[in-house]
C-alpha cells in the first residue's frame, strides 16, 4: 500500500472540541489516501501529525485529483496525479 499525499496543513490539535483552547499553537497535519495497487477499489483516507521538517518534504509531493478527457474514445475519467502533471494516458485505449 502506498500513501498518496492529498495535502499538508497547519491546524490545532484540539480542533475537534467545541471551543478552542486559548494559547495553543498550530501543528502540521498530513492528509493522505492509502492506495492498494493490487485492489484499486480499496482505498482509505487517513491523517497524521508530522514535524515541520517532514511537512516541508511532503508538500513537495502533493497529488491532485484531476479530470481527463480522451479525444479518441471520448471518455471522461478522474485520477490522482502529481500536482504539476497535465496529461495521462487513457485507461481504455492506452493512447
Which one, of 93, 89, 1, lies nearest residue 45 by Cα?
1
Strand, helix or coil for residue 4 = strand
How do the pLDDT tens digits run along the chain, 95 residues long?
A: 788 899 999 887 776 666 666 677 888 999 999 887 787 678 889 999 999 999 999 999 898 888 999 888 888 888 888 888 888 888 888 65
**Which residues lie closer than 8 Å to 29 by C-beta, 6 or more apart?**
8, 9, 10, 11, 47, 48, 49, 50
- 55 by Cβ neighbours in 10 Å (0-12 / 13-18 / 19+) ranks as middle
Amino acid at each position: 500500500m502506498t500513501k498518496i499525499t492529498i495535502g499538508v496543513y497547519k491546524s490545532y490539535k484540539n480542533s475537534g472540541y467545541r471551543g478552542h483552547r486559548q494559547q495553543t499553537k498550530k501543528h502540521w497535519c498530513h492528509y493522505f489516501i492509502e492506495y492498494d495497487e493490487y485492489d484499486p477499489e480499496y482505498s482509505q483516507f487517513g491523517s497524521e501529525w508530522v514535524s515541520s521538517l517532514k511537512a516541508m518534504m511532503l508538500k513537495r509531493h502533493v497529488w491532485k485529483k484531476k479530470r481527463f478527457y480522451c479525444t479518441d474514445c471520448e471518455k471522461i475519467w478522474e485520477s490522482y496525479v502529481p500536482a504539476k502533471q497535465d496529461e495521462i494516458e487513457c485507461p481504455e485505449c492506452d493512447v
